[in-house]
Amino acid sequence: MGLFDFIKSQFIEVIEWTDNSSNVMVYRFPVENKEIKMGAQLTVRESQMAVFVDEGQLTDVFTPGSYTLDTRNLPLLTKLKSWKYGFNSPFKSEVYFVNTRQFTNCKWGTTNPVMMRDAEFGMLRMRMFGTYSFKVVDPSVFLREVFGTASLFTVEGITGQLKSKIVSGISDLLAEAAVPALDLASKYDEIAAMSRNKLDSGFTELGLTLSSLVIENISLPEEVEKVLDKRTSMGIIGDSLNQYTKYQAAESIRDAAQNSGGAAGAGVGLGAGMGLGNMFAEAFSAGQQKPAEPKAAAHTQEPGTVKCSACGAQLTAQAKFCLECGTKVPPSVIKCAGCGNELPGGSKFCPECGQKQQ
């Protein structure tokens, strides 16, 4: 060690940390030979906490404020060392500054689709993604469980683990809640709130807290979304089989019209188009056929009956009055008053003798 380094090592330190980055969680203050002098000044700013480690053992945690490192401000270290007198010997120790502000806009999402059981659609593969924010609430636990003795620890060092916890927790919650797939979009806030409560214990074990959790989207596979789009279209045009046939015919003709397979493809497309055209015509003609109108019953006189002269109703030959309108019915056969010849009922003259009939 040179003379300058020796003189430098004898200065009383001013221990502080100003963070110019947005992703550093832990910073170890560099000290010459890890020797912190008695009476060194420690400054802990807002959104920071300082952890004092002596010979690899955590001794004291300092909240925001200004401190003079001596036996009064290091009670745990003093007890461990059994110091009874103040003296100017160095501490063979380290100081870690822990950033306690919120780390926001962290991304989470499913790497692979998550299998879910839906009452309406059966088995579904879902993808989910969103954002979350977290912060350190217990530096001592965070030191023991996460960053250890690293001189610098960033957000990237833990977000992978937190992302896995969030995806696992939300997937388990959705399976337990059994929310229908079509209702998920209206339950994002409720699912996020329940997920925070479910994940809180897992974050606490790491000395962290989950400050916020946002679900941006829960999506279905592309194939299922296409089926839902067709189902929505069918809901607009109607659910009858005839309407569905028309819809399918129109979709097939559109796809055939977009086929550009060259000369051979054109021939195949022409044949397919003719067949589809016939199917299309049949589908529409089936819906346009009108039911045959019932034919009016013909007023034909049956044998052994007579017709009412007033309303035309069919009556038996022996009837004297019409059962429909009450009109008196003349006898079907009468005898001539002059010669006794039988005449049809209602005759006015006898064809034999010319006698006028009453």
- The interaxial angle of helices 156-177 and 188-204, nearest 10 deg, is 130
Residue 164 placed within a domain: yes
Q: Which of 203, 222, 241 is the last residue of a domain?
A: 222
H or E segment at 166? helix 156-177
Q: What is the pLDDT of residue 318?
A: 64
Structure tokens at 182: 């079509």
- Sorting pLDDT into bands at 50, 70 and 90, what band is 5? very low
Q: Which of 55, 76, 99 is the last residue of a domain?
A: 99
**When comparing pLDDT for 207 and 257, which is higher?**
207
Verify that 54 and 119 share a domain, yes or no.
no
Verify that 90 and 176 share a domain, yes or no.
no
DSSP string across 103-155: EEEEEEE-SSPEEEEETTTEEEEEEEEEEEEEEES-HHHHIIIIITT-SEEET
Q: Could you tell me if 66 and 79 are in contact, meaning their C-beta atoms sit under 8 angstroms apart?
A: no
Q: Could you tell me if 15 and 66 are in contact, meaning their C-beta atoms sit under 8 angstroms apart?
A: no
Segment 294-312 mean pLDDT: 61
Residue 301 placed within a domain: no
For residues 30 and 165, what is the distance between their CA atoms, to the nearest angstrom?
34
CATH number at residue 119: 3.30.479.30
Domain count along the chain: 3
Contacts of 45 (CB under 8 A, 6+ apart): 16, 17, 18, 64
DSSP conformational letter for 187: G
Verify that 32 and 55 share a domain, yes or no.
yes
Verify that 144 and 203 share a domain, yes or no.
yes
Residue 322 placed within a domain: yes
Residue 333: is its pLDDT beyond 90? no
Residue 110 placed within a domain: yes
Verify that 58 and 118 share a domain, yes or no.
no
Q: Could you tell me if 82 and 43 are in contact, meaning their C-beta atoms sit under 8 angstroms apart?
A: no
- Sorting pLDDT into bands at 50, 70 and 90, what band is 354? confident
Verify that 28 and 77 share a domain, yes or no.
yes
Question: Phi then psi for 92, rounded to 5 degrees?
Answer: -85, 80
H or E segment at 45? none
Verify that 205 and 107 share a domain, yes or no.
yes
Residue 272 placed within a domain: no
Verify that 92 and 107 share a domain, yes or no.
no
Residue 82: is its pLDDT beyond 80? no
User: What residues are paired with 54 via a beta bridge?
Assistant: 57, 93
CA Rg, the chain, in Å? 50
Number of helices and strands in the chain (H, E): 8, 17
Each residue of 136-190: pLDDT tens digit? 999 999 999 998 878 899 999 999 999 999 999 999 998 888 888 888 888 899 9
Verify that 120 and 217 share a domain, yes or no.
yes
Q: Which of 66, 99, 132 is the last residue of a domain?
A: 99
**Sheet containing 41-44: order of strands:** 14-15, 41-44, 65-68
Residue 254 placed within a domain: no
Verify that 176 and 210 share a domain, yes or no.
yes
**Domain that residue 310 falls in:** 306-358
**Stretch among 60-64, 267-271, 309-313 having the lowest mean pLDDT:** 267-271
- Predicted model pTM: 0.59
- Sorting pLDDT into bands at 50, 70 and 90, what band is 238? low
Residue 212 placed within a domain: yes
Residue 263 placed within a domain: no
Verify that 59 and 120 share a domain, yes or no.
no
Verify that 326 and 215 share a domain, yes or no.
no
Percent of the chain, pLDDT > 70? 66
